[in-house]
Amino acid sequence: MKPIRTTRLILRNWEHRDRELFFRINSDERVMEFFPFRRTRAEADAKMGEMRDNIERKGFGFAAAEIVGTRECIGFVGVTETDHLPFLPAGTLEIGWRLAPEFWGQGYVSEAARAWLAFGFETLGRDEIVSFAVRDNRRSTAVMERIGMTADPSRDFDHPAVPESHPHLRPHVFYRLSRRDWEESKRAAN
């Protein structure tokens, strides 16, 4: 993956030095509030390796977000082809993120997500990019709205991978952004 640079961030593939941060965000109670699991160190290392390999293969994915001035990894933001939801067509492009809590509320996710939307529409030529979150995850849905995505209640769903033991985490809201809407918002901003 060729790194993507924004005003404050470098979006790049995962490196060995990111392991501690990746483990921390995947085991932190605040970060993982809307997930039914916490990853052990071994599970986090394996998942980071899987994400790194996916980025090497495809040239994009859930990439490390690094602050330009400090070279500190703060979490991930990226796009990936969603293949774990049977009702979405193969190759559907999903945008997602996860940051360490000390970096919340500073606009990093929105900044990185806008760069990934441009990548998805301009470089990958996609017609739609989607995102979804637990219904009560207002922090994530607020980001979706800030980056121009709109709710599509007709596509809300109960996540099939969330166990019945966590019924409050099953209902998910669905957001989308079409290429046409993205292009119109770009024109309006200029």
Helices (H), 28-164: 41-58, 108-118, 138-146
Q: Is CATH 3.20.20.70 the right assignment for the domain spanning 4-189?
A: no
Tell me the pLDDT band of 189, cut-offs 50, 70 and 90: confident
Report the length, in residues, of the chain: 190
As a whole number, mean pLDDT of residues 165-190 equals 93
Structure confidence by residue, pLDDT tens digits, 8-26: 999 999 999 999 999 999 9
As a whole number, mean pLDDT of residues 94-114 equals 97
73 beta partners? 66
Query: Residue 145: what residue type?
Result: E
Query: Residue 117: what residue type?
Result: L
Helix, strand, coil percentages (3-state) for the chain, rounded to 5, are 40, 25, 35
Structure confidence by residue, pLDDT tens digits, 72-84: 999 999 999 987 7
* CA–CA gap between residue 136 and residue 54 (Å, rounded): 30
* CA–CA gap between residue 186 and residue 96 (Å, rounded): 21
* CA–CA gap between residue 31 and residue 99 (Å, rounded): 7
Q: Give percent of the chain with pLDDT exceeding 70.
A: 100
Residue 190 has pLDDT above 90, yes or no: no
CB-neighbour burial class of residue 153 (10 A; exposed 0-12, middle 13-18, buried 19+): exposed
* CA–CA gap between residue 116 and residue 112 (Å, rounded): 6
Residue 186 has pLDDT above 90, yes or no: no
CA-nearest of 174, 147, 139 to 33 is 139
The predicted model scores a pTM of 0.94
Domain coordinates of the chain in residue numbers? Answer: 4-189
